[in-house]
Structure 1
Amino acid sequence: MKTEEIIKAVPKVLLHDHLDGGLRPKTIIELAKEINYDKLPTDDEGELAQWFYRGANKGNLVEYLQGFEHTIAVMQTKEALTRIAYEMMEDMYKDGVCYVETRFAPVFHTENGLYYEDVINAVLEGLDKGKRDFNVGYGLIICGMRNMKNTLEMAELAVSFRDQGVVGFDLAGEEGGYPPKKHLDAFNYIKQKNFFITIHAGEAFGKESIWQAIQICGAHRIGHATRLIDDIIFDNDGNILKLGELAQYILDTRLPLEICLLSNVHTGAIDKIENHPFLKLYKEKFRVFLNTDDRLMSDTTLTKEYVTAHELFDLNLDDVEKLNINAMKSSFAPHSERLKYIYNVIKPGYAKMRERLLSLKNE
């Protein structure tokens, strides 16, 4: 079996995936026609996929985010939101993902008069139908935007839907000039409600952003955390000599880091993928795991992220299993559900693959 076939077949967990960054090009074209949206650069499926990838692969976050103008434009009706959420679940199933936490910002989907509640209900309807049809578990994360002042309202929305499938709150958007501490009222509200927080930090800004997200805002997970490397001292051979106080704290508390290999190159968070700190963090036993970020923009899948890690960093099947167990442990699903996925889905899935590979070897 080819490596890609093996990785695609085994159960995987995805915790950092943007709903509005993972649309199918065909769906964008069809929805654009339905609402007479004429700003797409092309109505050819293959060309459009290339356009998004080319546009995102500029090496900086601001340009990377520009493609969202088009995806958000076609996500302004209940029907479109439900369809996109459902198709995302189908795409997860086809990629071997057994549990996914997808995130989006409701504030971007009210241009045609939908209320926030309408937007969230429409997405949850699609996710729920996808769960029934494809047996993929899910949680929905509501994003507040760093450059907006309504993050408390978004936090309240997230909590109000906690019994319907929303599992946490995120702060997203451009990091520079918009520190997470400016949204303390939102984070304090979430904490008081015993709810979960993940924050984009250390992607386009330094380790200070990560420190703030954890120690000031109370993040339970960090999205990207690429700049944590600035708090680690290496010797001339690239081996870790000493962890700074922040890195040591993150390691000791098992605070999860949502690593996104390919998008970190596309946004310029790292200069080239070979220099990604992922392997160093993994070897040092940080709680890391791989994610897609924006599947459309980065032309990726979770399988592709793990294949990339295998090719560049020599990960084997045991590593892939461990990373996905890390992810499931770090999910915002209830503890009993996490255990169910680890012991009833993930571990048996990898054991089955090992048996299959062994029988192929012995043939």
Structure 2
Amino acid sequence: MAVSILSREVFDLCLGKPALRSLSVSATVGDALSALKRLGESYLSLWSCDHDKSSRISDDCRCVGKVCMVDIICFLCKEENLRSPAAALRSPLSVLIPKTPTGIVRHLEPHASLVEAIDLILEGAQNLVIPIPSQSRRKRLLQKPSSNSTLHNNREYCWLTQEDIIRYLLNSIGLFCPTPINPINTLNVIDPKNILAVQYDDPASAALPLIFQSLVNHTSVAIVDLDGKLIGEISPFTLNACDESVSPAIATLSAGDLMAYIDCGGPPEDLVQLVKDRLEAQNLEAALELMEEESTITSLSLCSSSSDEESGSGRSKSVGSYSARLIRRSEAIVCYPWSSLVAVMIQALAHRVSYVWVVEEDGSLSGIVTFAAMLKVFRERLNSL
């Protein structure tokens, strides 16, 4: 029976999902920032075709990646970009595409099986792009390509995520028994080595490469004390609900102070002033404009964005502002080595994360469990049937 579940077409998991909003890789970082705010999107897909330069639809459009607020925040944190944020926002979007081997983004036809999608994820694909076959021919003919078009190759597409697959498997979890009720420390699902972590007093800037890596790997950066006990985390999920005004904070604060800065409710005034003082001390006055409520630099850099972009819920432009989608704080989601696999699955899905930290009874961090590791367990279970 489990075999029949995994043989289902991936389109079954895409029903009701919205079409991808997109940008061309020839757009600028400022264009992406504007689109994310105006459309209220968490991510925008990046495509190798450029609909702005032709009214014809290219036959070789390919999704080559995605961009989110975290990408822009990390990019602006670089010292040279803090010295000239306006110039940084005029950089091409290609600077945000990870310099990783090809295959991070994979296209998959809607009739492909779920097991094919799982295999691609286990091979290293982080994002699966699936055509949406239900769009009417009339709608395709009437829609004109634009900078935020959802139409490529005369089709619309959606993301298929690891969370989508895990949620689908949970609905049929009984078919895989007894595996899901076993403790995770008996399933070789805990990764004790690939833990991204910094200490509480470390500079937040030291975590930048780890933040970027955690974004690619759908994990997070742990904050630990000197004894290795888990204190909290710097989560891409939380950062993605902020705006570009967080960049100066990452460049000047400690990892522990950054947790407080991006926590729900907005940053404390004393930390805001501390960031400003340190920017001035480092001769980074230009970065102060990123922290203004109505940033002149951002407004000027985004004025070239397409005027026909749709209005969305967007984000507030206040310092460290948050989207209404944010439902988590910087406290880390944890489980124990003896927790069952199904309990960890439910815990991750409930908190909308694709990982759970594994801690011992004394709170020391011992590993991480990811959706990808869970999928490997189900794939191996399938092979044993």
The TM-score, its normalising length taken from structure 1, stands at: 0.24
Larger helix share, 1 or 2: 1
- The higher radius of gyration belongs to 2
The TM-score, its normalising length taken from structure 2, stands at: 0.23
